[in-house]
Amino acid sequence: MINIKSAYLNTRNQFLTLCSNLETEDYSVQPTEFVSPPKWHLAHTTWFFEQFVLKEFSSEYTVYNDDFAYLFNSYYNNAGERVLRPNRGLMTRPTVKEVYAYRNYVDSKMVVFLDSNPSKKALEIIELGINHEQQHQELFYYDIKYIFGNQPTFPTLKNSIALNDITQKQEFITIKEGVYQIGHNTAGFSFDNELGVHKTYLHQFKISNNLTTNAEYIAFIEAGGYSNFNLWHAEGWDFITKNNITAPLYWHKVKDTWHYYTLNGFKPVEPNKPVTHISMYEAYAYAEWKQMRLPTEFEWEVASEYLNYGQLWEWTNSAYLPYPSFSKAPGALGEYNGKFMINQHVLRGASIATPENHSRKTYRNFFQADMRWLFSGIRLAQ
Amino acid sequence: MINIKSAYLNTRNQFLTLCSNLETEDYSVQPTEFVSPPKWHLAHTTWFFEQFVLKEFSSEYTVYNDDFAYLFNSYYNNAGERVLRPNRGLMTRPTVKEVYAYRNYVDSKMVVFLDSNPSKKALEIIELGINHEQQHQELFYYDIKYIFGNQPTFPTLKNSIALNDITQKQEFITIKEGVYQIGHNTAGFSFDNELGVHKTYLHQFKISNNLTTNAEYIAFIEAGGYSNFNLWHAEGWDFITKNNITAPLYWHKVKDTWHYYTLNGFKPVEPNKPVTHISMYEAYAYAEWKQMRLPTEFEWEVASEYLNYGQLWEWTNSAYLPYPSFSKAPGALGEYNGKFMINQHVLRGASIATPENHSRKTYRNFFQADMRWLFSGIRLAQ
Amino acid sequence: MINIKSAYLNTRNQFLTLCSNLETEDYSVQPTEFVSPPKWHLAHTTWFFEQFVLKEFSSEYTVYNDDFAYLFNSYYNNAGERVLRPNRGLMTRPTVKEVYAYRNYVDSKMVVFLDSNPSKKALEIIELGINHEQQHQELFYYDIKYIFGNQPTFPTLKNSIALNDITQKQEFITIKEGVYQIGHNTAGFSFDNELGVHKTYLHQFKISNNLTTNAEYIAFIEAGGYSNFNLWHAEGWDFITKNNITAPLYWHKVKDTWHYYTLNGFKPVEPNKPVTHISMYEAYAYAEWKQMRLPTEFEWEVASEYLNYGQLWEWTNSAYLPYPSFSKAPGALGEYNGKFMINQHVLRGASIATPENHSRKTYRNFFQADMRWLFSGIRLAQ
Amino acid sequence: MINIKSAYLNTRNQFLTLCSNLETEDYSVQPTEFVSPPKWHLAHTTWFFEQFVLKEFSSEYTVYNDDFAYLFNSYYNNAGERVLRPNRGLMTRPTVKEVYAYRNYVDSKMVVFLDSNPSKKALEIIELGINHEQQHQELFYYDIKYIFGNQPTFPTLKNSIALNDITQKQEFITIKEGVYQIGHNTAGFSFDNELGVHKTYLHQFKISNNLTTNAEYIAFIEAGGYSNFNLWHAEGWDFITKNNITAPLYWHKVKDTWHYYTLNGFKPVEPNKPVTHISMYEAYAYAEWKQMRLPTEFEWEVASEYLNYGQLWEWTNSAYLPYPSFSKAPGALGEYNGKFMINQHVLRGASIATPENHSRKTYRNFFQADMRWLFSGIRLAQ
């Protein structure tokens, strides 16, 4: 029990550390539909433990505030009416202070509950809740960057995460043809979408040890990559044309030099760092331009031990689809993954925004092809 | 000089009183395009004095922060690039605290300037700035009501303004046919759109002494007013159909009884108070249903001395158009009124949200026909 | 009876002349919401006589096809369910041939009816129906120009209407201050919106005898008129910015020379013809640039005898509002005008597309400020 | 040579047969963005032979009309500027008659060319052009059904295609686990997306011999399938909610009985025919409700010999992605398939609208998940 209690407390405290430099005003805004206000993340992750653990398993538990289930439920249709997503940023109340009080209340009850010898089922859901909160901690980074990066004054998040230079020489690793095993099969935690170990047949392929750098991507831009429709999916071409996209998100050309906003400030683009904030469409077009391709998620998983990864989530050319023996959990928790298995793409790896111990080689992250605010990157295959 | 200095300070301090019950979070959100965050009002009205008074007339003045002109300029195209209107709610920085510091800084400089025997021209602009700030104080009420009234928790603004019951018996005053004089012709302040006294010919008409009450409006609703297209402008019918409008803004039916959100809380609709938060379309349809009409702004001005007014701005059936000798001031201040003289309607009177001494019988307020968040009301004519 | 019968037949036959050069395909398309397919105009004007004359007054009349009331009713909410406006162009059936058969059927019945000594009430409605059809004949010109002018191949309407050069020297006529009479007061036909002669007070003004020419308008364009926001209504500025408007509709710059599409073909802009296909916003901005203004509809009516008019409808700076004693007819015919009296502007005069004898000095045409496909022009006042 | 010439002529003539009951008006409209006017199909398929065969390989060929390349190019970015897709329905010119003349002209030149001993390369492109035209003949059925099925008068296409009753008993065929071969590997024609025979690993599965019937689908509707979000993808739920979808396209409830529009008329839904005009979202939700799933495209291909198929294209739970050795042809023909390989789903089989000899077991059809106007159906797996 020690372990899960300390995992719980570490994760919960970690969110406070992430927010330690925020002003009250920063917690409440929602600049676009796919971004959630930090306050909402703090409350929603708390609600998860209240709803699925304390209300289910702790007979003495008194709900903190009946309205909160309605206010901070994200997408769990089975758990009651929800605040529509685009309206999250309109809620000035409860205040940040009240949300922290809610966190404290739930944490204190959770500590008591964790000390009371919870059932295996309860412990499993707590573990899921910890992983759920870690996912929201990563989303917090995407969201605060979007909130700050779209303001005229470019605020910074002090002492924030930063990418490292890619220093190793690029090589292409060859993986032999054959039947491989895919999916999570060890003792530790995984999400339902990784479960069901199964076989897949891979033909021989090569895969880069490194991610694509900013310097390499600038070469693509300067070669006219954004104006050559032959490199793009038809849908990607429409996307960049309609939205006037000519560079990664947060990039601005200042006096002929590319600059970008990072959480540590606005600065010239650093050539040796991996390129990020590109959509699936851009990753694909870049690979086309290099006359290569993106790996599939199965190729990635099989080759993972040879790859330098962990700085950025890597777009694969795999749609997010169920594994052969995938099945949804009953009730609201079954909404976690299955219902998103359409028109999204799998990203593999992890990013500098990913909490420690949160990722693994079988982890299947997923987003729509036009999303650019996540910490995404490019790895080539052929 | 005493007078204008105390007018300045009274108006500036009044805004702090209005905001005294706000939480920090309440200052920053913009729930819809036509609503501005309270923080923005506080900064924008300050910027007006900085931009048009201190920078113009005070040689020693040092601008507080060069970015603020860009951030808090509303629509003055001549005064530099502006933050696009829908993005006002995305600015978490400068913080509320910084905005108050900005106000204090400008106020202290203005006090020095006001004590330094300013030119007549400067005094005129200060007077305009005071009236400008009063307009934003009224908009603040509309905006905070929209911000609170669209949250699931319905926060209140403590000790807030409230409408009074209409107690006088309804009568229709008859005004005789003839040539009348229209426009501002006294010594006091007026906006440019009221200037240019001129003659107009009115045919005989009758006008109600009172505004329409909630009880009277509920009769219209219950008679099927919102589903009888014969009562509506074609455009109004499209508006209510497309937006599923079946009652004034902030009204909700709870167990067969109409309730509404007010700044003092959510409660059953009070029958004897004047109906408010209706669009021009609804005011027109109501009048059609009564087989009467709305007055023109000229009829209203001529009859004003006989009317009970001041609780709500009254939709007139007059488009907002220039008076015969209207002319715009040169430069940015010329943008104040003239450029809005199309597709808007004149409202006459004043509301409980109007600052003291801000309105007068020649005052021409104006909004688009579909606006409902203002404190609008209905007066019948025939 | 001779007169109205021949008026009826002349008007009905006139529509066939207008369409004599059309291909079957040209009758059925609806390139944008505010344009109707020619087939629809032909059927709708026929339906008017069937619905309001034959069905009402002719006891022997058998409806041609029960579906047609539904298919070809335009906006008469009181006359049954209607095909939604944007869907008019989706109806490939009934075919053009069937629509002409419908016209023939109704015309033959109308001739019998007209010979049967109809009641005064019936004759009034027939007169309204003739004027209604004339309005649609004018709209037909706007619509076919839009249909052809937006095709890559620029088809022409053979032997079509064309504007004349303005040859008279420009002068400004002065009209003295005073009380004037406005509205229709002669024996002939008028629409309900012109009725109710009433007095209005006009201050002294000057008005141009001529319309603005293409050459004059090109000077405005070349002086940067479309990029100087000081000249525009705020709403007009948004309109031209959002839609990238930098010249009148149908104008294209080919090798540094302005060309335009006319019903007689694509050609260089003719300098001495009056400028047309401009929105109210553009008319206003042009007048601002000339440091003048547009006349009101009352000024126009009073000055009309001194004006060269009839080539283009002239935007006035008057909103379309009811005259003091305006009242709607009961039932569906009451929908003719009153329900449009909001957010539209009055145009006075007539155009080359207006059928003979259809206009008069009291005629109040009206459109939304952003409409450009009509035959609109500019006359200055000061 | 005999074979390809007769294949060419048969295919070309077949399109005339399909259109033999159309009125001129039916050829020109575009009721929604994804539907093309029949005239456009007729011209575009002709342009294909002109552009890629005659202009490339026939030195004497004179282009019929230089504008047509611009007007009738669909998506071949490499072959010049194109008419934007939503504008196809605005082109009333060239007329239907001219388009048929264009077809005759190109056909006569093609016959001469086919008799002139064309190169192998040319013959390959002609074969591609024939298959391309067959695809448009199938799209013609989808489009004319949409054009007719959305008109108030429900026109019919005389002697049109019709679905057959499903008479065989439903069974689930078991396919054993193992490595299977996928892709086109016989001598005949295939598209580039089927090429590259490769291995895939399948786990054991069961698949229905039959498609789902209307009766079975009505059971799903009546069990509340369209209002139970647990059955739907999140994106599918948004889709049906936003568009008020409660039944397949073309279905209407008339006095408690489901009816549908078919090309042979409006009639009660026939219980034993396979359900069609459902989106991928609906196919998925139906399978969820049955506690089964849709097959993958690989499962389908391996099991195909045991399936009753050919009436409707079958949604698979496979995203449309490249096969391991997929490569695009150079130039405009390379745009045929590859650039659509994102956010679309594979359908396998064939439909009653598919031209004879056009499909095969390796054929990969593909559409977006929200498309309903195609002849789509459901086959269950588990």
- Could you read off the pLDDT of A188-214 as tens digits, one per residue? 999 999 999 999 999 999 999 999 999
CA distance C254 to C245: 16
Residue C118 has, within 13 A of its CA and on its CB side, a CA count of 25
Please judge whether D319 and A319 are an interchain contact, meaning their C-beta atoms are less than 8 angstroms apart: yes
Q: What is the mean pLDDT of residues B130-146?
A: 97
- Which 3 state secondary structure label does DSSP give D379? coil
Confidence (pLDDT) at B329: 79
A80's tokens: 């009651």
**CB < 8 Å to B27, chain A:** 25
Q: What is the mean pLDDT of residues C279-295?
A: 98
**CB < 8 Å to C179, chain B:** 179, 201
Kindly tell me if the per-residue pLDDT of A1 is higher than 70: no
> Do D71 and D83 form a contact (C-beta atoms < 8 A)?
yes
Q: Which of A280-289, A327-336, C187-196 is most confident?
A: A280-289
CA distance C304 to C294: 14
Phi, psi of C205 (to 5 degrees): -150, 165
Please state whether B310 falls in left (phi above 0), alpha (psi between -120 and 50) or beta.
left
Decide if A203 touches D, using CB distance below 8 A: yes
**CB < 8 Å to C155, chain D:** 92-93
- Which residues of B, range 286-325, sit inside 8 Å of C by Cβ? 293, 317-319, 321-322, 324-325
**Which value does ipTM take for this structure?**
0.95
- What percent of chain A shows pLDDT beyond 90? 85
Please judge whether C199 and B198 are an interchain contact, meaning their C-beta atoms are less than 8 angstroms apart: no
- Which 3 state secondary structure label does DSSP give C316? strand
- Which 3 state secondary structure label does DSSP give C239? helix
Q: What is the mean pLDDT of residues B2-8?
A: 88
Confidence (pLDDT) at C82: 56
In eight-state DSSP terms, residue D295 is P
A237's tokens: 């071409």
Q: What is the pLDDT along chain D (382 residues), one digit of tens a residue?
A: 458 999 999 999 999 999 999 999 999 999 999 999 999 999 999 999 999 999 999 999 999 998 888 888 865 666 665 566 667 778 999 999 999 999 999 999 999 999 999 999 999 999 999 999 999 999 999 999 999 999 888 999 988 999 999 999 999 999 999 999 999 988 899 999 999 999 999 999 999 999 999 999 999 999 999 999 999 999 999 999 999 999 999 999 998 999 999 999 999 999 999 999 999 999 999 999 999 999 999 999 999 999 999 999 999 999 999 999 998 877 778 777 889 999 999 999 999 999 998 999 999 999 999 999 999 999 999 9
Looking at chain A, which runs of residues are DSSP E strands? 172-175, 178-182, 198-202, 205-208, 251-254, 257-262, 265-268, 313-319, 345-349, 365-367, 376-377
- Which 3 state secondary structure label does DSSP give A255? coil
> Do D260 and D318 form a contact (C-beta atoms < 8 A)?
no
Decide if B151 touches A, using CB distance below 8 A: yes
What architecture is domain D172-377?
Alpha-Beta Complex (3.90)
Please judge whether D334 and A199 are an interchain contact, meaning their C-beta atoms are less than 8 angstroms apart: no
Average pLDDT, chain A: 94
Q: A329 or C349: whose pLDDT is higher?
A: C349
Decide if B99 touches A, using CB distance below 8 A: no
Q: Which CATH number is A2-149 given?
A: 1.20.120
Residue in this structure with the two tokens 């060309």, named with its chain if needed: C259
Decide if D90 touches C, using CB distance below 8 A: yes
Q: What is the mean pLDDT of residues A238-256?
A: 95
Residue B252: beta bridge partners? B259
Give a three-class secondary structure readout of chain B. CHHHHHHHHHHHHHHHHHCCCCCHHHHCCCCCCCCCCHHHHHHHHHHHHHHHHHHHHCCCCCCCCHHHHHHHCCCCHHHCCCCCHHHHHHCCCCCHHHHHHHHHHHHHHHHHHHCCCCCHHHHHHHHHHHHHHHHHHHHHHHHHHHHHHCCCCCCCCCCCCCCCCCCCCCCEEEECCEEEEECCCCCCCCCHHHCCCEEEEECCEEEECCCCEHHHHHHHHHCCHHHCHHHCCHHHHHHHHHCCCCCCCCEEEECCEEEEEECCEEEECCCCCECCCCCHHHHHHHHHHCCCECCCHHHHHHHHHHCCCCCCEEEEEEECCCCCCCCCCCCHHHHCCHHHCCCCEEEEECCCCCCCCCCCCCCCEEECCCCCCCCEECCCEC
Lowest mean pLDDT among B302-311, C83-92, D43-52: C83-92
Q: Among the residues of C264-314, which ranges form H helices? A: 280-289, 297-303
**CB < 8 Å to C151, chain D:** 90-93
User: Domain map of chain A by residue range?
Assistant: 2-149, 172-377
Decide if A96 touches B, using CB distance below 8 A: yes
| Contacting subunits of A (3+ beta carbon pairs below 8 A) | B, D
Of B73, B35, B74, B28, nearest to B55 (Cα)? B73
Kindly tell me if the per-residue pLDDT of B168 is higher than 50: yes
Lowest mean pLDDT among A63-72, A123-132, C97-106: A63-72
Q: Which amino acid, one-letter code, is at C79?
A: A
